[in-house]
Amino acid sequence: MMALRIAYTLLLALIWTVFSSSTLGIHLFKARIRVKGENAEFLSFKTSNGNMINNLKLIHNPYGVNIFAGGPQGLYMLKPGKHPTLEQVHVPIFGPECQSSTTDCKYTISLLKEGRNGNPLFMCGSKPETTICCDVTSEHVPVNCSELMYPTQINDSSLHVGNSLYYTISHRNNDELITSGLYRWTMSKATWSKSRQTEQRYVKILANQGNGSLDGKVYTFYVEQNKNQDPDMPHWIPRVSQICMADRGGSKSVLQYRWTSMLTARLFCGDEKKRLSYTELLDVAVLEAVEWKNTMIYALFKNAYNLRAVCVYKMSDIIRVFTSNNFKTGTESFSSPRPGECVENSPTLPSNILKFMESHPELEQWIKPAQAPLLFNHYHYTHLQVDRVQSKKSGNSHHNVLLMSLDNGNVHKILEQDGAPFIIAEYEPFKTRTHISSMLLDSKAKKLLVSSSSEVVQIDLHNCRVYGNHCDTCVMARDPYCGWDWTRCSADTGSLIQDVTHGNHSICEKNVPKTSESRTHSKSDSPSSVPQDSKFFLTCPMESQHASYAWIHQGRTIECVLAEQDCLLLIDSMSEKDEGVYKCVASENGYNRAIVHQKLQMNAASETRMTNVALLCLLFLIFVI
């Protein structure tokens, strides 16, 4: 018994050394709350046979509610129900060919994207030296198939504009005929980029068809390996390119089947005054506007120190740079048409323009963000989605919410407010640490789907119960999806109490009658009887990571010992002075609330053993440390 007491004393000292250095009041850059599966009711889809699916990508049926998940090894469809599963779907793209062939007919999905012309899916299947692309009907039958001249990769961005498929290839292939860049496939005709010697990674394609035949433009966002080997120079250079949809390639002697209108400009993300820059582009999300020039581009970057930032660009600024025609190299003057200008018949362009465009002209002016970057130096983000949440109470008011995946498999819901990020919540959709391979936002249903190699999890962005049962905690969450409806924290219906801008809980005092909201704090049950001289723990759940927590006993404030998401109070040896009522009080933005209200009394019988509760807590703390 004496050995146990000594071990406990040493452990207690270690706990205080490890945890007391954490200051509860410092919550900068932390998510306000952490949301686990047990209180968020995440919907989890797993393959029925337990198969792992590498490089899983999520696709939404644009004409229905089905969600597809696909990787090189197969295609799956999400099946909700009592036991949600990923049900494998077979699309016999190579069916007729395989019936009369003894060769290996196995194909891999090389491109998967949203359907067109009323079909839920468009996909390409590849075998050695063969890639076939088809629309896929709701009965999973391939139609309108054609053989693609060049293979594609499932991770690279692509889009359909009319009957044209625009897609990108990032990594250089061993075949010199296949290079990285932007490709277009239309009615058995292809247009592609001129061969480049540097590695490129493509992240996003955008398109605007405009009003006239020469208005259509396609924009690609990518990073290119820096040719400058100076160790002080960035390894990657972020760029955006623009081509004309009317581009049909050059003449037989110059740029035949190649883009004649491709212009490139460099993206800048950082702080010029502090000489801080982020150069490796990781992901791009788009908030499209009715007027194309008002579209906003959100780009996730990292720098050489593995720090993350999000820069926001206006499409109007990108258009302005591309129409400036201030080229980085070349002083030759051109009349009309200018290099990069959209024309009806590009093969007939003057040879001097085609030769100039053959060198891939880069514009001198960099594209800079519309505001200071959102810096995230404490988290390693991997994917980015952005949602515009319209306030139903005031029709013209809206808030932008960033949904960002972390390298441990968690997801942050972040409010963008006046150029500063406020991390509303950290979702923990997976039970173990994992890598998120894809994110899909259903903005209408307000659902976010995230995939790993073994499952797909659906997060309900409208789940407001996670903010508690009080108006104050609901408002302080600053979640534009939620508000207080006089009985509970619920989805925005247009008549809710909320202050997204400041999270000012005082509006609850002004608008909520005292009788309409339950302010009952956690009450004690019958007093806990603790044996004299024994060890004892009191536990208080830390509901908000932005709050400060402390225990109050007989007018004395006792600091917490932190363990995971709990605030602990440790009693080393129970005596008469330890009897009485203990309150765990959370303080946030001037609002104080008792989370736990517990009365202790001493059992007169002298015992040196630990109580069961203390023993469990001790084992937990040993595990944590």
User: What's the angle, vertex CA 126, arms to CA 122 and CA 131, rounded to 5?
Assistant: 75
Task: Assign residue 609 a region (left: φ > 0; alpha: ψ between -120 and 50; beta: otherwise).
Answer: beta
Which of 335, 356, 378 is the last residue before a domain boundary?
378
The answer to whether residues 332 and 199 belong to one domain is: yes
Domain match, 504 and 551 both:
no
Q: Are residues 49 and 163 in the same domain?
A: no
Which CATH number do you get for residue 192? 2.130.10.10
Q: Are residues 196 and 51 in the same domain?
A: no
- The answer to whether residues 266 and 318 belong to one domain is yes
Residues 365 and 263 in one domain: yes
Three-state SS string over 532-595 comes to ECCCEEEEEECCCCCCEEEEEECCEEEECEEECCEEEEEECCCCHHHCEEEEEEEEECCEEEEE
- Of 82 and 237, more confident: 237
**pLDDT bracket for residue 590 (50, 70, 90):** confident
Is residue 362 pLDDT above 90, yes or no?
yes
Q: Answer whether residue 430 is part of any domain.
A: no
Least confident of 101-110, 257-266, 323-332: 101-110
How does residue 622 score in pLDDT terms, banded at 50, 70 and 90? very low
Q: Are residues 145 and 243 in the same domain?
A: no
Instruction: Give tens-digit pLDDT for 379-399.
Output: 999 999 999 998 776 666 889
Do 261 and 334 share a domain, yes or no?
Answer: yes
In a domain, 578, yes or no: yes
* Domain presence at residue 402: no
Pair (24, 110) in one structural domain: no
Is residue 236 scored above 90 in pLDDT?
yes
448 inside domain: no
* Pair 182, 217 in one domain: yes
Asked if residue 337 is part of any domain, the answer here is yes
**What's the domain count of the chain?**
4
pLDDT at position 541, please? 92
Instruction: Indicate whether 584 pLDDT > 90.
Output: yes
In a domain, 98, yes or no: yes
Tell me what pLDDT residue 453 has: 87
Query: Who wins on pLDDT, 541 or 39?
Result: 541
pLDDT at 26 over 70: no
Same domain as 6, residue 108: no
513 — pLDDT class (breaks 50, 70, 90): low
Residue, of 298 and 23, whose pLDDT is higher: 298
- pLDDT score, position 313: 98
pLDDT band at 300 (very low <50, low <70, confident <90, very high): very high
- What range does the domain containing 8 cover? 2-32+522-624
Which tens digits make up the pLDDT trace of 119-138? 999 999 888 778 889 999 99
Q: Which residues contact 178 (CB under 8 A, 6 or more apart)?
A: 150, 151, 169
Domain end marker among 378, 399, 421: 378
Confidence of residue 17 (pLDDT cuts 50, 70, 90): very low
Select from 511, 544, 569 the last residue of a domain.
511
Look at residue 610 in the predicted model and tell me its pLDDT: 47
Q: Residue 422 above 80 pLDDT?
A: yes
Secondary structure (DSSP) of 111-180: EEEE--TT-SEEEEEEETTEEEEEEE-TTS-EEEEEE-SS---TTS-EEEETTEEEEEE-SPPSSTT--S
∠63-111-456 over CA atoms, to 5°? 65
User: Residues 160-169: what's their mean pLDDT?
Assistant: 93
CATH number of the domain to which 598 belongs:
2.60.40.10
Residue 385's closest CA among 463, 283, 243? 283
Mean of pLDDT values over 65-92: 88
Section 135-155 average pLDDT: 87
Q: Do the domain assignments include residue 403? A: no
Domain containing residue 499: CATH number: 3.30.1680.10
pTM for this model (two decimals): 0.88
Over residues 108-129, the mean pLDDT reads: 90
For residue 604, what is the enclosing H or E element? strand 591-606
On whether both 21 and 52 belong to a single domain, the answer is no
Mean per-residue pLDDT for 199-226? Answer: 94
DSSP 296-358: EEEEEEE-TTS-EEEEEEEHHHHHHHHTT--BSS------SSPTT---S-GGGS-HHHHHHHH
Cβ within 8 Å of residue 13, ≥6 positions away: none
